[in-house]
Chain A
């Protein structure tokens, strides 16, 4: 059992390294997009995958080093959350861009935010307004719920009674 924790540590750090290399490998797409004006909206999906990889890498490294602590089994839920939160943030950001929620303005395939674009690109195959609205509402409600859950936890910590010497 003594080798389990360092093995888990090395495994998680190896995965964190892989995620970091994956993130850094996307730098080429950024330069391509910067050099070609026509590509600058298409790069947004890569950009969000970069954010996803960076945050997953951070989460894996945090969880990996936590494996070195003796009490890692007791804090398993906490570490799982530590891993899930950055991954979820990243996935949410990626989803925003897959749906082109932010960058749909000038992309002929996305939601036509400027009405004239439907005339400029009549055959683009726009996705529907209702589906765009539903996706945006779901992301808003989902992240709003997450913020609310975490905010209540923060308030609980802040409202804990302090001891006579001012310490918790």
Chain B
């Protein structure tokens, strides 16, 4: 293993430890102060067995914080994979290819997509936490403050759209630049085994419905 990988590993470990300490602090704060949108909703409710109702919420919160840790772990792994891909693409693949603008661009897209995925999972962890405990003002400086679910969805959507857009660019570049005379032998089977037409149709319908809900809400508010 090269020294640079040790440096990257050390950085990721430091990041993870910092994240775990910060998360533990938030959990302690949540337990001690007992504040946050979800807890507030329970506190505001007027039911005789309110303490009993707190049990499922407490159990879910405990599991959710473990999930947040796993999300941070996935994000760190994606970050490390980005470096590994850059290393592989530049030092291995590009050594055997001519360093043209098209080649360099194509081989930079995949590491960039994985980096975007690291951002998506990191944002899912940070944003998901704020949906539970409420917006953290200090994160506004880093533009990581999440106000509500719509804010959370908007930012996640743009990151996923960017990654998918890069995929479109990558395929178009391959079609236009990489040995087009051989493409017919590369893509011999023009069927949809992986595209899952039902899944694609469900996704398209759900996105359209959701956009319509937001559009109608906006129209109703006028």
Contact = CB atoms under 8 A, between A and B. Distances in A.
B158 A147 contact: yes
Contacts, number: 266
A92 B153 CA distance: 12
Interface residues of A, number: 85
Contacts of A154: 150-151, 154
Interface stretch (B2-10, B21-29, B61-69): B61-69
Given A13-B57, A93-B160, A101 B154 contact: no
Interface residues of B, number: 85
B199 A144 contact: no
B149 A17 contact: no
Interface of B: 37-38, 41-42, 44-45, 47, 49, 53, 56-57, 59-60, 63-64, 66-67, 70-71, 74, 93, 110, 113-114, 117, 120-121, 124, 128, 131-132, 149-154, 156-158, 160-161, 163-165, 167-168, 170-172, 174-175, 178-179, 182-183, 185-196, 199-200, 202-204, 206-211, 213-215, 217-218, 221
6 contacts: A5-B47, A20-B60, A58-B128, A77-B217, A143-B158, A143-B160
Given A58-B132, A93-B120, 8 more contacts: A17-B60, A51-B71, A61-B57, A88-B206, A95-B203, A131-B195, A132-B167, A132-B195
